[in-house]
Structure 1
Amino acid sequence: MLIADLFPAPDGILSLAPANKADLLKLLAAEASRRIGRPEDEIREALEKREALGSTALGRGVAMPHTRLPDLGQQLAILARLTRPIEFDARDGEPVDLVFLVLWPEESSEGFLPALSNICRVLRDNHLPKQLRQARSAAEALATLQSAGSVPPADEG
């Protein structure tokens, strides 16, 4: 799955200001709830349950909270840039300021792990996080992300 399939519209969030990890998950759940019409508490609890298994921080200031939800019509991915980095229990100890939220239909496991893997793959480019941090708008950040992810992984193409 290409990044453009996950992040099809220039609708990221570039000014999220959570106080901490719990606050971030609450803010992300509220935004996801608004977009998909599901209860905020359901989304937040699913994200918290996933985080309890281990931090979804990827390192280098990036986190990818993700979970699967029952009866979700289609996946939802949101790029958020925080106004200031927060502690996220990352292995490298770096606070997080770039967040990729991924919600996936529980009934459709196909594509979930490849989607997460593709996000991780494009983030291996050391320049991409810097470009996302410097983007002047959500549209610019998502265009940068889509451009980085426009080449399918080797096993897809």
Structure 2
Amino acid sequence: MDLFTILKPEAVKVVSAASSKKRLLHAIGELTESAYGLDSARVVEALLERENLGPTGVGHGVALPHARMPGLDSVIGAFILLEKPVDFSAVDRQPVDIAFALFAPEDAGVEHLKALALVSRTLRESSVCTKLRANPDPSTLFSILTENKNVQAA
């Protein structure tokens, strides 16, 4: 598993303004609807349910919202770079400007965890985040995220 199999170019977007965590989750819902055909309202509902269990802001301006969704055959992802960071109740209390959302089939076990680990490892590299923040073009962002084919899931 690599990011190239999880993420497609149409699921990468730069958002100029999201005024809150909820607005960011709505932007993710809209992006997954246009890129994958998922119902935006269901996506937002699933992400909000997961956030109620505990925030998915992992620190250093990065959030990894995720949820299980009916009707999926494999894990899929959506990436948003925010031009203006928002409060995401992150563990380090820093606002979030990078959000990589993952959606897994309801019965996905290890596959979902491997995808989360892969995205987490990728975005834990400060050099990757620096490149992402410096390139507000969706096709460039996709290239940065998928360029390191050597990073594999556990």
The TM-score, its normalising length taken from structure 2, stands at 0.91
Distance 1:152 1:126, change over 3 A: closer
Q: Residue 153 of structure 1 corresponds to which residue in structure 2?
A: 152
Shift >4 Å, 4+ stretches: none
Residue 10 of structure 1 contacts residue 142 of structure 1 at CA under 8 Å; is this kept in 2?
no
Q: Which ranges in structure 2 are unaligned for 5 or more consecutive residues?
A: none
Residue 10 of structure 1 contacts residue 143 of structure 1 at CA under 8 Å; is this kept in 2?
no
Q: Residue 40 of structure 2 corresponds to which residue in structure 1?
A: 40
RMSD value, Cα: 1.8
Pair 1:24 & 2:31 matched:
no
Matched-pair identity in %: 29
Q: Residue 67 of structure 1 corresponds to which residue in structure 2?
A: 67
Q: Residue 116 of structure 2 corresponds to which residue in structure 1?
A: 116
Q: Which ranges in structure 1 are unaligned for 5 or more consecutive residues?
A: none
CA deviations over 1:95-130 (Å, ceiling 9, x no partner): 000110111111333411001101111122211101
The TM-score, its normalising length taken from structure 1, stands at 0.89
Between the aligned partners of 1:79 and 1:63, the Cα distance in structure 2 is 10
Residue 75 of structure 2 contacts residue 111 of structure 2 at CA under 8 Å; is this kept in 1?
no
Q: Residue 84 of structure 2 corresponds to which residue in structure 1?
A: 84
SS at match of 1:38: coil
- The CA deviation at 1:80 is 0.6
Residue 55 of structure 1 contacts residue 88 of structure 1 at CA under 8 Å; is this kept in 2?
yes
CA deviations over 1:67-103 (Å, ceiling 9, x no partner): 0111224332111101200000011111000110111
Between the aligned partners of 2:143 and 2:36, the Cα distance in structure 1 is 22
What amino acid is the match of 1:66? H
- The CA deviation at 1:8 is 3.6
What amino acid is the match of 1:20? S
More helix by proportion, 1 or 2? 2
CA deviations over 1:8-60 (Å, ceiling 9, x no partner): 43641013421100111112112212233332221111000000001101100
Q: Residue 14 of structure 1 corresponds to which residue in structure 2?
A: 14
